Amino acid sequence: MGLLVACGSTPMQAPEIAEAMTPAPQAGKSRPDDQSELPSPLLQAKSRWTPVRWSELPGFETDALFEAWNAWLKSCERPGPVFAPLCSEVRRLSISGDDEQRAWLMSRLQPYRVDALQGATEGLLTAYFEPVLVGSRTPSAEFSVPLYQVPLGLIPRKPWFTRQEIDSSPVVKAAMKGREIAYLANPIDALVLQIQGSGRLQFKEADGTQTTVRLAFAGSNEQPYKSVGRWLLDQGAVREASWPSIKAWVARNPERVNELLWSNPRTVFFKEERLSPLDAAFGPRGAQGVPLTPGRSIAVDPGSIPYGTPVWLASRGPGVNLQKLVMAQDTGSAIVGAVRADYFVGWGTEAGELAGRLKQPLNLWVLWPKKP
């Protein structure tokens, strides 16, 4: 997660992107059951949670909550100890209407505004997606960029060789021999896939059949992530760190592609997963260990918001307004800080285009179980 780009030609499958383009509704009015005494603030490792009234959540009265319930049901497949006791009620309410779901939220949960420890209440929202790319299982003149499985002997949380060393060192290349999982035609597409953490690859098999699989995150070389867009900006090579600008620069400077790629020492390794019709309706598994739901899953800093927490998200920017219930189900190397989220928007070209331009102010509220 981080710098984003549109890839592939498969239409996006995120049902809420059109909704995201509509004007933002106003916060709901105070309700009779929203007058109880507020609890004390809660302190997390990287954030402070300040209790608020339900009426302070922008758009709370108008969100289509049933759409978020699919993501919540996924969280209940691997719930943490705080939310596990609520999962039987969440499952029962999955066939209920918005009004009953809204009333249940207000009766069982308390909203807390997420603040930075230094006091800031506003942060940053970006988005991520699943690229859809054409690949090959064998190398060729056209498909020459390898994607790797986890190297043998890799130790978690211990820095391994950099991207440049993996690409250029004879010793490292020999160690990676036989760990190739697929090949792409474009090194920039491989970089995008690694930044996003997963993607869908379309293969033409030896018998002529077409296959689509998911390449899911399996590990990394534990090197720090560096934005290639930031590298270009620092050199004055582009005016904006968007993928169209980056690809245009690459087209003008093909001899400097490796220089661009190697400015980011981080590399991601993958594992292949079968993509059943049910799997294809959801995104990859996030850090919580459950499949992501387009438009309803976010990546967060777990030091600010624990995985599996329902979160009210509000973000207003040029042409995109979001006020909705989402689930904290993932994280990423670039997702650091108290009020910080990466919004999962689906897969394919349209999702990538939205992800590539979404960078705007953010407010978050966690919905935490009330004390008995």
At residue 2, does pLDDT exceed 70?
Answer: no
| 257/141 same-domain check | yes
User: For 130-183, what is each residue's pLDDT tens digit?
Assistant: 999 999 999 999 999 999 999 998 998 899 999 999 999 999 999 999 999 999
177 and 241 inside one domain: yes
Say whether both 138 and 216 belong to one domain: yes
Out of 243, 278, 313, pick the residue that ends a domain.
278
On the question of pLDDT at 14 being above 90, the answer is no
Number of domains in the chain: 2
User: What is the value of pTM for the model shown?
Assistant: 0.84
Q: What is residue 26's predicted lDDT score, i.e. its pLDDT?
A: 45
pLDDT in tens, 237-281: 998 887 778 889 999 999 999 999 999 999 999 999 999 999 999
Q: Confidence class of residue 36 from pLDDT cuts 50, 70 and 90?
A: confident
Query: Is residue 165 one of the residues assigned to a domain?
Result: yes
Mean pLDDT of 57-71: 96
Which pLDDT score, from 0 to 100, does residue 31 have? 57
Query: Cα–Cα distance between 221 and 197 in angstroms, integer?
Result: 13
Domain boundary residue, one of 278, 299, 328: 278
SS3 270: strand
Q: Are residues 295 and 364 in the same domain?
A: yes
Q: Give CA–CA dist 356/17, Å, rounded.
A: 14
Q: What is the DSSP letter of 371?
A: P
The bridge status of strand 310-317 relative to strand 210-220 is unpaired
- Identify whether 274 is part of a domain: yes
What domain range includes position 91? 41-127+283-369
pLDDT tens for 77-136 read 999 999 999 999 999 999 999 999 999 999 999 999 999 999 999 999 999 999 999 999
175-190 pLDDT, tens digit per residue, is: 999 999 999 999 999 9
- Closest by Cα among 334, 344, 283, 278 to 311: 344
